[in-house]
Homo-oligomer: A and B are copies of this chain.
Amino acid sequence: MKLLLTNDDGINAKGIYALAKELEKEHEVVIVAPDNQRSACGHSITITDPLFVKELKIDGIKSKAYSVSGTPADCVRIGIDKLVDGKIDMVLSGINNGFNLGTDVIYSGTVSAAIESSIYKIPSIAVSTEINDDIEKYSVPAKYASEILKILKDSYTKNDVVINVNVPLIPKENIKGIKVCNIGSKTYDFYFMEDTSENNDKRFYLKGALKESEEEDTDVYYIKRGYVTVTPLHYDLTNFKILDEVDKVFNK
Give chain A's interface residues, CB within 8 Å of chain B.
39-47, 50-54, 73, 77-78, 81-82, 103, 105-107, 111-112, 115, 119-120, 151-152, 155-156, 158, 161-163, 178, 180, 182-183, 187, 190-192, 194-195, 197, 201-206, 230-243, 245-247, 249-252
Contact = CB atoms under 8 A, between A and B. Distances in A.
Contacts of A192: 51, 77-78, 81-82
A178 to B, nearest CB: 5
A86 to B, nearest CB: 16
Contact of A232 (B54, B105, B107, B243): B243
A39 B245 CA distance: 31
23 contacts: A42-B42, A42-B112, A45-B107, A51-B203, A52-B197, A52-B202, A52-B203, A53-B203, A54-B202, A78-B192, A120-B187, A151-B250, A155-B252, A156-B245, A158-B242, A178-B250, A178-B251, A180-B246, A180-B250, A182-B236, A183-B238, A230-B246, A234-B237
Given A106-B235, A182-B238, A50 B191 contact: no
Closest 7 CB pairs of A and B: A42-B43, A234-B239, A42-B42, A180-B247, A182-B238, A42-B44, A232-B239
A156 B232 contact: no
B152 A182 contact: no
A53 B203 CA distance: 6
Contacts of A152: 249
A247 to B, nearest CB: 4
Nearest to A43: B42
Contacts of A187: 119-120
A237 B204 contact: no
Contact of A40 (B45, B155, B161, B206): B45
